[in-house]
Amino acid sequence: MNRLQQRHLLGLLANPLGNSARVFELSGTNVLITKRGQISTISLEDLASPPSVEKGIFGATAILSMSGRREILLRGARFADARLFSDTVKSAWIDFNLQALEREADRLAVLHSEILNLARPTAYPAACVITPVLNDALALEASLLSKLNPDAIGPEAAACVERIRNFALNPKAIRSAAIATYVTTELERWKDFFDTIESKPLTAEQRLSVVVDEDATLVLAGAGSGKTSVITAKAAYLVKAEIRKPDEILLLAFAKNAAAEMSERVEARSGVPIVARTFHALAYDIIGLVEGSKPALADHATDDLAFINLIKQILKDLVQTLTEVSRGIIQWFAHFLVEPKTEWDFTSKHAYYSHLEKQDLRTLQGEKVKSYEELQIANWLYENGIEYEYEPDYEHKIKATGRRDYCPDFRLTESGVYIEHFGVRRQKLPDGTERLMTAPFVDRDEYLAGMEWKRKVHAEHETTLVETYSYEQQEGRLLASLEAKLAPHVTLKPLPADMIFDRVIELKQVDTFSQLLGTFLRKFKSGGYSLADCDAKSERMKLGKRSDAFLAVFAPVFAEYQKRLGGRIDFEDMILRAAHYAETGRYVSPFRHILVDEFQDISQSRARLVKALKGQNPNARLFAVGDDWQSIFRFAGSDIHLMRYFGSEFGGIFAGESGVHRAVDLGRTFRSVDQIAFAARTFVLKNPAQIAKQIVPAGTTTEPAIKIRMVAKDEDQRALGDVLHEISAKIDPAQTVAVLLLGRYRFLEPDMRDLQRRYPRLRIAYKTIHASKGLEADHVILLNVDSGRTGFPSETVDDPLLSLVSPEAEAFENAEERRVMYVAMTRARHTLTMMASKSRPSSFITELINDPAYAVAGAAEGEARPHECGECGGRLLDVRGQDGRIRYRCEHVQHCGNLLPACPSCGAGLPRHADGTASLTCRCSTTFPTCPDCKDGWLTERSGRYGAFLSCVRYPVCSGKAKITTVSSGPRLMNLKR
């Protein structure tokens, strides 16, 4: 029966409002529905189940169940008619489903087989392999499977459909189970291979990293964990397991020697001839294939000195030929060479002085000044041909005042005018008036009193004083204001730009700037930046006028550099051009597996090339081996974020999840004993942004493995000899051991020929820490772990301008320097000795000594805890004078000048405040009365015009005093007064 109609009388009783249908009619594969005179159509495909029939008081109700639990009812029908119609539609519905199933039979069979194979996978179920299967399952689920009823298709077809639907609904769980099954089977299958591919069987972690074959796989290979073994085994496994052909595998390294070593090792260990290449060699080959020939390489591309000399020559030529550009270049050297920070940017003297010591505040005339604002004034005077003296003795002798001799900031030699620059700013008060303020760490009342005293001196001696103020610099009118104030006294005679530039060359300031320009240029090119990008980032980072001045010079320098390249290319061009050809398809990549060594050193441009090669083939995989703990080449463009966010950068997509990848931690180190391995791990993980890894050391030791040797001034060579003698004395006479001397800088290298002659049983080598990557030795000696500009951690930080073309800076202080220290520590197999200045050890040494977790030995108690300077918050360092006496001097000697004698009782210690007491006590237990005026001084007895009295040992810098009184029946007492 193809038609079911509501009976008239029953319809009136069952459906008085006409809400339900009046007629159902089967027409081919559709059901026509008449309701309130309107006819609508539904397909059999839309039925979730065959029609059902229910008996009622007023006749039968036929129900059509749709997807989404929607129902269409026809009330008031004869039960027999409704039953017959239901059977007819059911039969049509089953036929419809079976026909639909038959149309997709081949597709279903293939899909079912692929899903069934996931229970016993014969290849790694990578996201890129399983995603097409999942996409097909999801498409079938939406178009067909979700609409099929098991009753309509039979049990065998229903089981097939159910398996496919289950996979579509639970793809992640099924893929994870498949991966686990495959890995277990494969590890057992290739056990003999893993046992014999290297001289020692691979560890469980190494085997796992070889078998895992995700879209992107990151092997976290800590220092000495056998990363080369992993890459060798991976390449051999891919070929031997017939996963890839040799020419489908790309082995990439960063250095020529590393690539050559990798090629030799792969072939020697596995018999598989796979040639490893550097990124530049690969890029050069790609360019040659696309363009038909390889463009010549610029002469300076492989010669850093030639590159910097080219930049210097470009600067010189621009000064001589382009007026606007020459003016910008001179303005840079005169006013923007250093960061424009003043004391107002700091909250303590110590922080401000530390900043000043990292800068070279040297004027165009050649002297060093004490602030950025003084530098501006001095260079303006020089630019305008006004001869001056910096901090000369005042021409009149001032009567004894307890002060140091008066030395004004500047004296103009021709006019005799003095210039004093005062570090004060204006603060508006609620009543509208203003008052002068000093920097946060400066005593305002004392400073303002000093200003008045200087004015009074000039007034009394009738000398001309011109005053400038920090608030003028803050308001952007310091130099304009100075020009107006000097107008009655001097005539400006501006020097030619080329003369000033010659002076810059003479001061070697052009060398530093050329280095900055060269580094910026290379990073600018390799990162694919534009000047607009730099402008936008400068504005975002609020780098201000200095950034504008730099970019105004860089733009013409870069344009001229590109012009002088002519038809040649540099290394930055190589990578970017090759990446472009891969991205646009002009180069067709044959590679299905890309294996990258030292992945922590990858830059944005190299990452772009890797992504382009990988992106050409949906089945291509990336296998990266690296250690973010050893990422120490940010200055050369490496971007640690590419490793930290490896998944989002290189991972695949599966089941709606992006960034799909696998990370394997090798864990075991074959190099360092437990004390060194664990200490290095603890040290580097102080930075929470580093990827945490477990470490299994190469062995254990009960002897101290990390030692710190504190070295007195000028005794570095003797101390080094002592350490080498100790090592040599402990080895068997017939043996030799390797000793690696490490330094943060090249200039720290000692006389190696002399050392080798003196210690013939030691194989001694020197390397900078950066050059020591991949090396190891029985014993490592780390030299000059001191504080200072060329200390370790290095305080010669990258110029902030480089952040315009660099990965985002890390928030953790000394993040990269901490990784440099990790690299140094993990070169050692058995012992690590760090040599640090007794008077100025680095913050790293202080940390290693103060934290028991590092278990270091060899530093005397208290040696790494210098006293704090009460004047500025820096450190008081013990120094021995020519007279043999020890004094304690502030580390910021050029700025602070705090100087204290050693304890007069023991001649070595420094009296300090004991907890809860007002007196000062030395470590020899001698106690002294505290100076009432300063934090560090104590009172000592002196003789004066009116007899004995007590005064501060820091006199005349500090004028703290006290009277001496006596009591007839008691000891001498003090009456302190300021």
Q: What is the pLDDT of residues 770-797, one digit of tens each?
A: 999 889 999 999 999 998 778 898 876 6
| Residue 188 or residue 692, greater confidence | 188
* Percent of the chain whose pLDDT exceeds 90: 56
CATH of domain 197-292+581-665: 3.40.50.300
Measured CA to CA, the distance from residue 553 to residue 328 in angstroms comes to: 6
Residues 6+ apart with CB under 8 A from 691: 220, 628, 629, 643, 644
Mean pLDDT of all residues in 334-353: 88
The answer to whether residue 843 scores a pLDDT higher than 90 is: no
User: In this model, does residue 488 exceed pLDDT 90?
Assistant: yes
User: What average pLDDT does this structure show over 808-813?
Assistant: 74
Name the residue with higher pLDDT: 360 or 161.
161
**At a CB cut-off of 8 Å and minimum separation 6, what does 947 contact?**
none
Indicate if 674-854 has the same CATH topology as 3-101: no
Question: pLDDT category, 915, cuts 50, 70, 90?
Answer: low
Structure tokens of 455? Answer: 């004015």
Q: Does the pLDDT at position 759 exceed 80?
A: yes
Would the annotation count 962 as a binding residue?
no
pLDDT of residue 507: 83
What 3-state DSSP class applies to 542? coil
> 963, 931, 290: which is closest to 589 by C-alpha?
290
Contact 709, 734 (CB under 8 A): no
DSSP secondary structure string for all residues of 806-869: SSPPPSSTTHHHHHHHHHHHTTEEEEEEEEEESSSB-HHHHHHHH-GGG--B-PPTTTT-PEEP
Sign of CA pseudo-dihedral 146, 150, 153, 156: positive
Beta-bridge mates of residue 764: 739
Distances (CA, A) of 926 to 880, 898, 910: 21, 22, 10
Domain range list for the chain: 3-101, 110-179, 197-292+581-665, 674-854, 867-977
DSSP symbols for 269-308: HH-----EEEHHHHHHHHHHHHHSSPPPBPGGGG-HHHHH
Which distant-in-sequence residues (6+ apart) come within 8 Å of 339 by Cβ? 355, 359, 372, 546, 799, 800
What number is the average pLDDT over the span 118-125? 94
**Judging by DSSP bridges, how do beta strands 216-220 and 621-626 pair with one another?**
parallel
- Among 303-312, 616-625, 697-706, the least confident range: 697-706
Q: Is 859 annotated as a binding residue?
A: no
Residue 221 labelled as part of a binding site: yes
* Non-local CB neighbours of 497 within 8 Å, separated by 6+ positions: 319, 323, 326, 327, 329, 330
Kind of pairing between the strands at 828-837 and 706-711: parallel
CA distance 216 to 903: 65
Contact call for residues 856 and 679 (beta carbons, < 8 A): yes
Residue 448 has pLDDT above 80, yes or no: yes
Average pLDDT over residues 831-843: 88
> Which overall architecture, per CATH, does domain 3-101 show?
Roll (2.30)
104 phi/psi in degrees, rounded to 5: -105, 15
Does the annotation place 970 within a ligand binding site? Answer: no
Give the three-class secondary structure for 353: helix
- Which of the four pLDDT bands, split at 50, 70 and 90, describes residue 354? confident
- Report the 10 Å Cβ neighbour count for 254: 21
Q: Is 423 annotated as a binding residue?
A: no
CB atoms within 10 A of CB 962: 21
On whether the CB atoms of residues 772 and 823 are closer than 8 A, the answer is yes
Q: Can you tell me the distance from the alpha carbon of 622 to that of 614, in angstroms, rounded to the nearest whole number?
A: 7
Residues with Cβ within 8 Å of 718's Cβ and at least 6 positions away in sequence, in order, are none
Architecture of domain 674-854: 3-Layer(aba) Sandwich (3.40)
Write the secondary structure of 158-221 as one string of H (helix), E (strand) and C (coil).
HHHHHHHHHHHHCHHHHHHHHHHHHHHHHHHHCHHHHHHCCCCCCCHHHHHHHHCCCCEEEEEC
516: number of Cβ within 10 Å: 18
State the pLDDT at residue 798.
66
155 pLDDT band (50/70/90 cuts)?
Answer: confident
Peptide bond into 793 cis (omega under 30): yes
* Mean pLDDT of the 752-765 span: 94
Mean pLDDT within 218-242: 91
Residue 810 structure tokens = 């890390």
3-state secondary structure 23-63: EEEEECCEEEEEECCEEEEEEHHHECCCCEEECCCCCEEEE
Q: Does 37 belong to an annotated binding site?
A: no
Q: Which whole-number Å values give the CA distances from 259 to 262, 352, 599, 609, in the listed order?
A: 5, 47, 14, 18
- When pLDDT is averaged across residues 558-580 and rounded to a whole number, the result is 93
Check residue 973 and give its pLDDT: 41
* pLDDT tens string 921-977: 998 999 999 998 888 999 998 888 888 889 999 988 888 888 887 544 433 444 443
Compute CA distances 884 → 723, 753, 844, whole Å.
Answer: 26, 33, 30
Torsion angles phi and psi, residue 968, rounded to 5 = -55, -40
Across the chain, what does the average pLDDT equal? 89
Q: How far apart are CA 81 and CA 87, in angstroms?
A: 10
Q: From 547, 603, 611, 601, select the one nearest 579 (Cα to Cα).
A: 611
Using an 8 Å Cβ cutoff, are 74 and 22 in contact?
A: yes
Largest CA distance in the chain: 136
Q: How many other CB atoms are found less than 10 A from the CB of residue 491?
A: 11
Confidence category of residue 358, pLDDT binned at 50, 70, 90: confident
| Backbone torsions φ then ψ of 489, nearest 5 degrees | -110, -25
Stated pTM of the model: 0.79
In this predicted model, which residue has the larger pLDDT, 102 or 250?
A: 250
pLDDT confidence of residue 506: 85
Evaluate whether 66 touches 146 at the Cβ level (below 8 Å).
no
Find out whether 568 and 594 touch, Cβ atoms under 8 Å: no
**Cα within 13 Å of Cα(959), Cβ side:** 6
Q: What are phi and psi of 88, to 5 degrees?
A: -65, -45
pLDDT of residue 861: 42
Say if residue 228 carries a ligand binding annotation.
Answer: yes
223 appears as a binding residue in the annotation: yes
Place of tokens 């080219």: 310
